[in-house]
Amino acid sequence: MNYLWAFMILTGIIYGAFHGTLPQITTAALDSAKEAVTLCITMMGVMSFWVGLMRIAEKAGIIEGLSRRMRPVLHFLFPDLPQEHPANEYIATNMIANVFGLGWAATPAGLKAMEALQERNLELCGQKGTSRKRGPDIATDEMCTFLIVNISSLQLIPVNIIAYRSQYGSVNPAAVVGPGLIATICSTAAAIIFCKLKKRC
């Protein structure tokens, strides 16, 4: 990626030099840098607000309660994962954060979930007489399912997009909620169907 970006930047500069548009390129670069800082400040406020709400919900036991209610869903998605395994709570937290469009809050839980799933993978690989065909350095079905469902990211409230639209002067920033919900329902359904079909193969 570094080489790709370097190539694109150099190409733009050389093109501007040959066509006499270097002043416009310089102005655009400075304006973009200023706009990037403004956008970061806006997103920092949105992130702090929603991540703070997630922490309050966690301390109040709301996340734990929702995790328990999600056990049937988790068992459907990860039938080989024991219900009392620590990965379930991390997966549930990640999914809840994604549903509310909190990608920043979902990332730590997602990493913890992958660590817990890898620990289970190592335990199963270390058992004598196991019939597992996968090794400790190969992702398990649970890891693949979690990653695919996480990427499909069902969202009720796309906070990021709403914040971006608000930053750039949209008349109705929340107008994307309906289309976003439909799109993510379709992507999540496709992800689940794909995982289930691949597991049967």
**For the segment 23-74, what is each residue's pLDDT rounded down to a tens digit?**
887 888 788 888 888 877 877 777 777 778 777 877 888 877 887 888 888 8
What gap in Å lies between CA 6 and CA 12, rounded to an integer?
A: 10
The answer to whether residue 133 sits within a structural domain is yes
Task: Supply the range of the domain harboring residue 84.
Answer: 33-200
| Domain count for the chain | 1
The answer to whether residue 25 sits within a structural domain is no
Residue 131 has pLDDT above 60, yes or no: no
The answer to whether residue 111 sits within a structural domain is yes
The answer to whether residue 22 sits within a structural domain is no
The answer to whether residue 3 sits within a structural domain is no
Q: How confident is the model at residue 114 (pLDDT cuts 50, 70, 90)?
A: very high
The answer to whether residue 173 sits within a structural domain is yes
The predicted pLDDT at position 146 comes to 92
Residue 91 has pLDDT above 70, yes or no: yes
pLDDT digits (tens, 9 = 90+) for 74-88: 889 998 888 888 888
Tell me if the pTM is above 0.85. no
Q: Which two tokens stand for residue 25?
A: 């390129």
Task: Provide the total of helices (H) and of strands (E) in the chain, helices listed first.
Answer: 9, 0
Higher pLDDT, 136 or 59: 59
The answer to whether residue 27 sits within a structural domain is no
The answer to whether residue 1 sits within a structural domain is no
Residue 3 has pLDDT above 70, yes or no: yes
